[in-house]
Structure 1
Amino acid sequence: MDTLLKTDDAQVWWEKTMACLGARVQTIPFQVAQIAFSLLALAASLWFIRRLRNAENQTPRIYEVPGPKTPETYQTVEETTIKLPGSSAIQCYAPATGQFLGLVNPSTPAAIDRALDAAHAAQAKWRRTDFAARRAVLRTLLQHVLDNQENICRVACTDSGKTMVDAQLGEILVTAEKLQWTIQHGEEALRPSRRPTNLLMTYKRNEVRYEPLGVVAALVSWNYPFHNFIGPVISAIFAGNGILVKISEQTAWSAPYFTSIVRGALVAHGHDPALLQTVVCWPQTAAHITANPRISHLTFIGSKPVCQQVAASAAKPLTPLVAELGGKDAAIVLDSAVRDLGRIAETLLRGTFQASGQSCIGIERIIATPEPYSRLVELLEPRVQALRLGPSADVGAMISDASFDRLESLVSSAVAAGARLLAGGKRYIHPDYPKGHYFTPTLLADVTPEMAIAREECFGPIMVLMRAPSNDSADVLAYANAPEYGLGASVFGADSDPCLKAVVDGLRTGMVAVNDFATYYAVQLPFGGLRGSGYGRFAGKEGLRGMCNAKSVCLDRFGWLGIRTSIPPPARYPVADQESSWRFTRGVVELGYGQTIARKVTGLLNILKNM
């Protein structure tokens, strides 16, 4: 176009056009118009190129990764244990069937160091990427999860014992939600945020910047082998970090496959897959992670006793820790919910028995007020009795039989103390899978707060029904807040019921779903609890920012005019007159913080008098 504008024809065209537009416009030189037109063409070209790049980033890239390997010949394990006598290897097997899946060599401290070296090297490059590049990786990852959800579910089911429906809800749906939320809202959460100033510092502008920490780590539990693994990874890499994930020994078989899914998305966009590292190790080696000064942040998902060891270890290098430790979540059904009990019963069943009760926010107690209590028992008893066990039935297997003695003891002690056992209550030998880990779906009614089963986390397929003394919020809260846990809760009642609001306000938990179950996680609200359920939050804006160094930056608003902080003479060293200087500095305080105009004026006069 520049060439065209330089031709004689273009000059003639310009002069004729200007003549038509009038004398005033004719004063615009041809050269000025030429420059303006060139700049406009350049801007349009840059806009078009940017749109092409954005379109390219918004188009997910397709990639494939191999699934986990299983032995060519189907066989069941001789002993259903991950720890073999005389061997350091981890035995992997399917808890629903007892199928032998393979052996995994645990990571050593030296292997962990090598993983950290690789992650740090990759993160040094990754931290310089922009949010558009990170979104592109997550968008490709989301597409892969959606395209391969059946295979992901089958692998998760094989390694953990859950059913395909439970895997769809607990592995895929929540992962897709976290990916979508981060893609849509992650940049907004991590963009530098402006902060207010004050009268004395009007010439300053303030902001908080969210910068990568470096390489972070997560120690995750086995109950959701895909989602618990990938959740911390999504937040870590979007915040610009590298991450090392310690996988539970119970689900070591699926870890390489799930790792390759994330790495495949990185490679598809030309990034170093070493940004993500996964290790599997025995507990005695885990301290090499938790006490490692090269790790900038820890996320722990597990039990309170193990977390106490992790926290003590992390305290040595003062590594920040988010701890999610499970709960004894209550589902509270108020008198005003009596007309909605059919729907509520369905929610209670799903909330209690999903993943065989092995969910940190699973419903562990149903606290019903007097009016709906008996009707709930009538609705739930036949439904629980009808539940079938098996890998393709209603309720899947538990991860192992290690808790069976404890669960049977909790049930029997509750019955001895007056509870009614209406279904289940003991382990189950499956006729088709005798080496599978099954516990019969259990219903206990008339449980009281002093019983152990009302205080201790079961983490199994056990439904506990408790009758509150009245519909008064104080009585309900006394039951609900009795255990040491405080993770989540559900409250069912009419929206207009004042007791509903009082109970929601009075619950000592980190999360509450009103007339529903666990929906706070399905919309990426910050996730976590208090008391025995841990501290800190992941998910949502708070969780994403927790993966960053929140750097406070105070800058000169008018530095370009030379307006900067200067120490006034009365405050300079050496101080010439302490009394006069004190009156001056007092005047500064009164001017800045006096709550009336008179005090501010007095402060200003003190400043002027003592300069």
Structure 2
Amino acid sequence: MYINGAWVETDQRFTVTNPANGEAIGEVANAGPEHIEGAIAAAHDAFASWRKTTAYERSALLYRAWQLMLEQKQELAELMTKEQGKPLKASLNEVQYGADFLLWFAEEAKRLYGHSIPSARADQRFWVQKQPVGVVGAITPWNYPISMITRKVGPALAAGCTVVLKPAESTPLCAMAMFRIFEQAGFPKGVLNLLTTEDPRPVGNAFCDDPRVRKITFTGSTAVGKLLNERAGRHIKRVSMELGGHAPALVFADADPVHAAKGLSLVKFLNTGQACISPNRILVQREVMAPFLKELGKRIAAMKAGNGMDPDTRIGPLINEAAISKVDNQVKDALSKGASLLGGGERLLTPELAGGHFYAPTLLADVSPEMLIYREETFGPVAAVVPFDTEEEALAMANDTHYGLAAYVYTENLSRAMRVFEGLDFGIIGINDINPTSAAAPFGGMKESGLGREGAQAGIEEYLETKLGGIAVAGG
């Protein structure tokens, strides 16, 4: 762990394994109550001085961390592939994406503008100033173990907050590598603190209950987000939540079905389907269903599963056995209720894959609302295709979910694109675009997919308080 500018070891440790083969790749310290207290205390003490640093000083440190990330891009990506499982090319892309947030917020640090407001009174002036919230408790997920750190830490530091980070128990090594970069960049002690733990609950509880922690930022499941939000609400804490998704993709008959199948094959199987913006339901107008399924099936059949260090690998492992069970249960449930299996549908247990958590890239057609996969987030390599007839039907089906993170639309009709964009109850919508994300773009969901936004100018606002000054001007 990294607490108050020093690396801390403990007798209590836990093992980190490679999900592609089950091999142990490291051991890390397991935080106890004294470490949680020490990290929060360090962040609280450091906040008094860190908040007074100039925007230019904070910007320079973030810029240096960005440079170091790029210099160490290959090493970070290889570590991510070994610890999380995604193909090396995808890991390299994630490191670049993660670095983008440091660069973006290095620039945003210098743009924390206030403003003045005219008063109805001649002898009064108003001014508005932004100031940092305080100590931030950050909880990051295993599916994007580096970029989700920088997407939270970057704006928090730029705003003048201090941070205690708890990474996912499956991917602490990536977090440790990032904190070595922050250390090399020269951030003052106590400004950044890292708690690694096999049991996330004590840290989460401390973030919610300790009055010194003024803000919680969490990326993970909706179920856990609700628990954190409820507990933090007892103390009126600021929270931002990036939670589960159940993204629909709408393919209209006026779109090129081959082009749509190509794009959706890429985003559906991104990170082996373990992405919150991954399309969970692919809604296809009946007129183009046949060519769409033909092209999608061909592309899925060509996807090779394997260790992410193999350059030919397209499908990495799922994170653990529970993930395998969830995916397999959804597939079996769908088949029992009338879905058609057009490819995959089983765990991969060939000799070279038997030690890992691999599930065959799968294509299901004729998926309907009574199936689990139509309602639950899959987080795995299963493309579930649903037929529709009209635009109104497609919109109703797409919005028929408690989630509201991402959605995708394929159409060549500009009027339809605008109607559907406005009608979808989702925070991020790609129109003929499978990658509607960037450090410069606000990321976040509606309904049970979250609160607040990350990235863009909106991302730094999550870490700022608005302060009003009213001044009486005498004489003159």
Distance of aligned partners of 1:336 and 1:203 in 2 relative to their CA distance in 1, 3 Å threshold: farther
State the partner residue of 1:181.
104
Moved more, 487-496 or 203-212: 203-212
> CA offset at residue 409 of structure 1?
1.8
8 Å CA contact 2:304–2:314 kept in 1: the answer is yes
8 Å CA contact 1:488–1:518 kept in 2: the answer is no
8 Å CA contact 2:221–2:243 kept in 1: the answer is yes
In the aligned structure 2, how far is the partner of 1:278 from the partner of 1:105?
Answer: 11
Answer yes or no: is 1:329 the counterpart of 2:252.
no
State the partner residue of 1:382.
298
Matches of residues 245-324 of structure 1 in structure 2 within 5 Å? 245-265=165-185, 267=186, 271-281=187-197, 282-286=199-203, 287-324=205-242
8 Å CA contact 2:73–2:96 kept in 1: the answer is no
State the partner residue of 1:528.
444
8 Å CA contact 1:524–1:539 kept in 2: the answer is yes
> CA offset at residue 462 of structure 1?
0.9
Matches of residues 167-566 of structure 1 in structure 2 within 5 Å? 167-169=91-93, 171-188=94-111, 190-195=112-117, 197=118, 200-201=120-121, 203-265=123-185, 267=186, 271-281=187-197, 282-286=199-203, 287-338=205-256, 341-391=257-307, 392=310, 393-470=313-390, 472=391, 474-496=392-414, 498-519=415-436, 521-556=437-472, 559=473, 562=475
> CA offset at residue 421 of structure 1?
0.8
8 Å CA contact 1:526–1:541 kept in 2: the answer is yes
8 Å CA contact 1:264–1:273 kept in 2: the answer is no
In the aligned structure 2, how far is the partner of 1:517 from the partner of 1:203?
Answer: 55
In the aligned structure 1, how far is the partner of 2:292 from the partner of 2:471?
Answer: 62
State the partner residue of 1:166.
90
Of the two structures, which has the highest relative contact order with CA contacts closer than 8 Å and spacing of 6 or more?
A: 2
Alignment partner for residue 126 of structure 1, among 50, 58, 79? 50
8 Å CA contact 1:95–1:436 kept in 2: the answer is yes
Q: Deviations for 1:22-47, whole angstroms, at most 9, x for unmatched residues?
A: xxxxxxxxxxxxxxxxxxxxxxxxxx
Residue 279 of structure 2: SS of its match in structure 1? coil
In the aligned structure 1, how far is the partner of 2:458 from the partner of 2:172?
Answer: 30
Answer yes or no: is 1:108 the counterpart of 2:18.
no
Structure 1 runs, 4 residues or longer, greater than 4 Å off: none
Q: Deviations for 1:404-437, whole angstroms, at most 9, x for unmatched residues?
A: 2222121122122221111111211242242211
8 Å CA contact 1:443–1:463 kept in 2: the answer is yes
In the aligned structure 2, how far is the partner of 1:96 from the partner of 1:194?
Answer: 57
Q: Deviations for 1:418-475, whole angstroms, at most 9, x for unmatched residues?
A: 21111111211242242211111111112122321111000111111111122x2x21
In the aligned structure 2, how far is the partner of 1:237 from the partner of 1:527?
Answer: 19
> CA offset at residue 220 of structure 1?
1.1
8 Å CA contact 1:186–1:541 kept in 2: the answer is no
8 Å CA contact 1:98–1:433 kept in 2: the answer is no
Q: Deviations for 1:493-542, whole angstroms, at most 9, x for unmatched residues?
A: 1253x2221111011111212210232x2153222112221222222222
State the partner residue of 1:571.
none
Answer yes or no: is 1:146 the counterpart of 2:73.
no
Amino acid at match of 1:125: S
Residue 431 of structure 1: SS of its match in structure 2? coil
Q: Deviations for 1:84-138, whole angstroms, at most 9, x for unmatched residues?
A: xxx9642211111212123323111211111122222322222111111111112
In the aligned structure 2, how far is the partner of 1:288 from the partner of 1:229?
Answer: 19
Normalized per residue, the structure richer in helix is 1
Normalized per residue, the structure richer in strand is 2
Amino acid at match of 1:150: Q
State the partner residue of 1:83.
none
Residue 184 of structure 1: SS of its match in structure 2? helix
In the aligned structure 1, how far is the partner of 2:379 from the partner of 2:346?
Answer: 14
> CA offset at residue 202 of structure 1?
5.2
In the aligned structure 1, how far is the partner of 2:44 from the partner of 2:358?
Answer: 43
Structure 2 residue runs without a partner (length 5+): 1-10
8 Å CA contact 2:135–2:213 kept in 1: the answer is yes
Kindly report the root-mean-square deviation, in angstroms, between the aligned alpha carbons of the 2 structures. 1.9
Residue 420 of structure 2: SS of its match in structure 1? helix
Distance of aligned partners of 1:137 and 1:430 in 2 relative to their CA distance in 1, 3 Å threshold: farther
Residue 132 of structure 1: SS of its match in structure 2? helix
Residue 440 of structure 1: SS of its match in structure 2? coil
8 Å CA contact 1:90–1:249 kept in 2: the answer is no
8 Å CA contact 1:291–1:315 kept in 2: the answer is no
How many residue pairs are counted as aligned between the two chains? 460
Amino acid at match of 1:412: K
Residue 195 of structure 2: SS of its match in structure 1? strand
Moved more, 479-488 or 94-103: 94-103
Structure 1 residue runs without a partner (length 5+): 1-86, 564-611
Percent of residue pairs identical: 30
Q: Deviations for 1:4-31, whole angstroms, at most 9, x for unmatched residues?
A: xxxxxxxxxxxxxxxxxxxxxxxxxxxx
Residue 129 of structure 1: SS of its match in structure 2? coil
8 Å CA contact 2:318–2:324 kept in 1: the answer is no
In the aligned structure 2, how far is the partner of 1:322 from the partner of 1:433?
Answer: 38
Distance of aligned partners of 1:161 and 1:203 in 2 relative to their CA distance in 1, 3 Å threshold: same
8 Å CA contact 2:169–2:200 kept in 1: the answer is no
8 Å CA contact 1:390–1:430 kept in 2: the answer is no
In the aligned structure 1, how far is the partner of 2:417 from the partner of 2:227?
Answer: 39
Amino acid at match of 1:536: G
8 Å CA contact 1:119–1:242 kept in 2: the answer is yes
Q: Deviations for 1:260-294, whole angstroms, at most 9, x for unmatched residues?
A: 112211x2xxx414311011221341212222111
Residue 296 of structure 1: SS of its match in structure 2? strand
Pick the structure with greater CA Rg. 1
Residue 408 of structure 2: SS of its match in structure 1? strand
Moved more, 523-532 or 324-333: 523-532
